[in-house]
Amino acid sequence: MRMIVTAAVTGAGILVFPSASAATAVSAPQKACTFTWFNIDDRDVLTAVSEAKTLAKGETWVPSMQVLRSGVAQVTGVKLDQPQAAITSLGEQIRRPLAPIGGTYPSRGRHGENSFGGAGRYVVYQMVSRLVDADFVVECGGKRLGAGHATSWQPGDAGGTAQCGVKTGDKTRIADLALRLAC
């Protein structure tokens, strides 16, 4: 999904404008920065998967997870005095809070003991919910500072279990991908 949006970060919050031309009609404090976002890519991503393991009914398991993808919430490209302002602006644009700069994925939350309702061959997986990558151009105090790229995601631990050979019904297809990789 690609969008172009302009947002102004001020001491009172973030003002979102439908286009860059609308931003010029609004006067902002001298230190306010305006971010114009484009190439917004917002998706769920599989980050880690266990090996498949056959278990008896009621048996528990502490899986060993293989990390497939890792990352950090960051802003690259243009140097900003307050880079978190870019992540905040992007979060306002997509209408979701995002992990702060320096946050990392995958988390360690899915490495504990798992139990399953019945016998079968199972996989445990982790995912990043709503990983967001976007490009931006930033203007502060009427001066164009340059272009950059921001990466973050919806905070929180996400993942699950799936049984090999059993249809998941997962609309994001993350569980299906975990099964294809591990079973």
Per-residue pLDDT tens digits for 67-109: 999 999 999 999 898 999 999 999 999 999 999 999 999 876 5
Cβ neighbours of residue 67 closer than 8 Å, sequence gap 6 or more: 47, 48, 106
Q: Which residues of 79-98 are buried (b: 16+ CB within 10 A; e: fewer)?
A: ebeebbbbbbbbbbbbebeb
- Confidence check: pLDDT of 18 > 50: no
- Confidence check: pLDDT of 24 > 60: no
Give bridge partners of residue 53 from the DSSP assignment. 122
Q: How many domains does the chain fold into? A: 1
Residue 17 C-beta-side C-alpha neighbours within 13 Å = 18
What are 32-71's pLDDT values in tens digits?
889 999 999 999 999 999 999 999 988 888 888 899 999 9
- Confidence check: pLDDT of 28 > 80: no
What is the average pLDDT across 126-139? 95
What is the average pLDDT across 172-179? 92
pLDDT score, position 8: 42
pLDDT score, position 110: 54
- Residue-range definition of the domain harbouring residue 169: 5-182
Taking the model in full, what pTM does it have?
0.73
What are 134-147's pLDDT values in tens digits?
999 999 888 999 99
pLDDT score, position 108: 64
